Amino acid sequence: MNDNTFIISAAGVRMPRIVYGTAWKKDRTAALVEQAIGLGFRGIDTACQPKHYQEAGVGEGVVAACRKLGLDRADLYLQTKFTPLNGQDPLQIPYDPQASLAEQVSQSFRTSLKNLQTPYLDCLVLHSPLAHRQQLLEVWRAMEQIFHDGDATQLGISNCYDPELFEFLYQAADVKPAVIQNRFYADTGYDREIRDFCRQHRIVYQSFWTLTANPKVLADAAVKNLAAKYQRSTAQVFFRFLSQIGIIPLTGTTSAKHMREDLAIFDFELSADECSLMESLL
């Protein structure tokens, strides 16, 4: 990836414009992460949530790839999540469920550092808002302490689809969320209001489930025509459109071919009119 494939967040963190997601990879996690980095990915997303992520495998893949390619830790963007209790498998909770929320955050983060074999993270994300605003702020304050300690260079939140709640968090936070990561699909109106707020405050919007949730967009005749024009796949056209409007897509593909195609979206550019056409499909 070259310099054109990175952005600088409001927190001053250099972020790749496309990120490799590691959910659901299980025993293949280490090999797939090593492969993704080997092919050119420089951003990796994971979570301290054994139910859906093998975080230690992510660390193994990162270490192996860096050793093979001669990369330094600073060459990569590593992002993990604190997952509240209701998102955990009761038999695989990576922290003491009886501990205070602040201590749960601290224990989870220390586990992540160990799993990922790194002294710091580029972003710590709250996996989902908690049921009550006071609990949300309690967790956020614990995350802010990790930021102030220099162990995470920016903070974010995921699965937050309520614009009012997101704005509440932003206004209440001492360390403002630099990232929001949401499922990008029609059921939430593609988060238009949240994305407007993000643009106003230089918050980076990351999308997941981007291809799976949008078969109608990918099958649209206009998208197929653009794919034919640029000799790309419809997935590449959709990802390129998102990158041009400031969205960072996550891709969790296990195919080397699709990894290469995802990384190649920066080799062409849609016109303003074509971006407007794509926007009309959402």
Give the domain ranges of the chain.
Answer: 3-210
The pTM of this model reads: 0.97
What pLDDT does 250 receive? 98
**What pLDDT digit, counting tens, does each position of 56-98 carry?**
999 999 999 999 999 999 999 999 999 999 999 999 999 999 9
Whole-number Cα distances in Å, 98 to 60, 94, 101, 102, 106: 30, 12, 9, 11, 13
Distance CA 241, CA 262 (A): 12
CATH number 3.20.20.100 given to 3-210: yes
Distance CA 254, CA 261 (A): 12
**What pLDDT digit, counting tens, does each position of 208-225 carry?**
999 999 999 999 999 999
